[in-house]
A and B are shown apart, each in its own frame.
Chain A
Amino acid sequence: MSGEKSVSFPKSLKQAGLSMLSMMPMILAIVGLVGLFQSYITQQMLVSVFDGNAVHDTLVGTLAGMVAVGQAIVSYILGGELLEQGVSLYAVTAFVLAWVTLGVVQLPMEASVLGVGFTWRRNLLAFLSTILVSVVTVRVLELWR
């Protein structure tokens, strides 16, 4: 995929660096919000919102995954803990999936960089997909196991 190379590679790098620099306020803001969420949203708070109903728990799991932030590995550990505490697999699957694919905290940046319309549609599709994938996964496993 060779290009026309109208600019040198260092100049391309400089342009990319400057562009990244212009996004730093948004990135720093998101990092700040991530810190607040990780510090103030506890596991007990997450457990308290599930009631055992599959439909309710799948929806809440998706919403909780959207709000929670951090490395994907943390979602597996938290998901395992939630299962241990009796939260349904529907909720945990939705939670783990939404953790990585959806994010309330990063929505402003996605809208700013990729456009409001695109962001709205992509996140709506991802939200519906997360619910669908979670329900189908658990239903198939229930039949399989």
Chain B
Amino acid sequence: MSGTQRRPHWMGVRLLALVILLYLGLALSGSPGVLSALHKALGVLETLLPILAVVVIISGAINYFLNPKALAKHLGEESGIRGWMIALGAGVLSHGPMYAWYPVIAELRRHGMRDGLVAAFFYARAIKVPLLPMMVAYFGLDFTVLLTLLTLLAAWGQGLIMDGPLARRGAVRR
């Protein structure tokens, strides 16, 4: 969350205007689902606000405590296996919707976090530790164990590709 990002994102303002118009259009056309949609959106917002507050605190802490040298050691070019463990572990343990984590990740990238670790973090979020018992109940223990292991492997593989072939073509910011 650098200073240059503090102006409202115009894409966001335009999208918000579009969504408001969509709601208004649906309401004016008498669509029965629009009130339910608004109610659900407010419910999502209610759940999201505490998470966003946590994200602001984490971002503030990153700004205050981390310096580029320290971050490069843990998540940068030289991070090695420790970087993968941190990215995968943080992905598995992180809560809330993916978009709530974009500001934190943007801040970490600004400080030198490798794109491969970002990709690994986002994909590892598919594993939800608190929900594993529920997955076992619905799909079985063997399914849950296998899917969890393969998801971690896929997250790592994506990271390697982002840092490897794509980076070599200059496609990925390193």
Q: Judging by beta carbons under 8 Å apart, are A2 and B65 in contact?
A: yes
Residue numbers in A under 8 Å from B118 (CB-CB): 114, 118, 122
A-B contact count (CB 8 A): 240
Interface-located stretch among A3-11, A43-51, A55-63:
A3-11
- Mask, B37-59, CB within 8 Å of A = 1, is 11111101100100010011101
Q: How many residues on the B side are at the interface (Cβ–Cβ under 8 A)?
A: 85
Residue numbers in A under 8 Å from B154 (CB-CB): 129, 132-133
Asked if A39 meets B33 with Cβ closer than 8 Å, knowing A19-B6, A23-B9, A114-B102, the reply is: yes
Q: Is residue A53 contacting chain B, with contact meaning CB distance below 8 A? A: no
Q: Is chain A's interface secondary structure helix, strand, loop, or mixed overall?
A: helix
Q: Judging by beta carbons under 8 Å apart, are A32 and B16 in contact?
A: yes
Q: Is residue B81 contacting chain A, with contact meaning CB distance below 8 A? A: no
B residues 122-142 near A (Cβ < 8 Å) are: 122-123, 125-126, 128, 131, 134-135, 138-139, 142
Identify A20's interface contact among B20, B56, B173, CB under 8 A.
B56
CA distance A141 to B34 in the complex (A): 42
Q: Is residue B71 contacting chain A, with contact meaning CB distance below 8 A? A: yes
Q: Judging by beta carbons under 8 Å apart, are B99 and A110 in contact?
A: yes
CA distance A39 to B44 in the complex (A): 12
Residue numbers in A under 8 Å from B102 (CB-CB): 23, 109-110, 113-114
Q: Judging by beta carbons under 8 Å apart, are A15 and B63 in contact?
A: yes
Asked if A26 meets B15 with Cβ closer than 8 Å, knowing A100-B125, A114-B105, A145-B142, the reply is: yes
Q: Judging by beta carbons under 8 Å apart, are B60 and A76 in contact?
A: no
A-B interface, 6 closest residue pairs, ranked by CB to CB distance from nearest: A35-B41, A26-B12, A19-B1, A39-B37, A13-B60, A16-B59
Binding site for A on B (CB under 8 A): 1-3, 5-9, 11-13, 15-16, 18-20, 22-23, 26, 33-34, 36-42, 44-45, 48, 52, 55-57, 59-61, 63-67, 70-71, 74, 97-100, 102-103, 105-107, 109, 115, 118-119, 122-123, 125-126, 128, 131, 134-135, 138-139, 142-143, 146-147, 150-151, 154-155, 157-158, 161-162, 166, 171-173
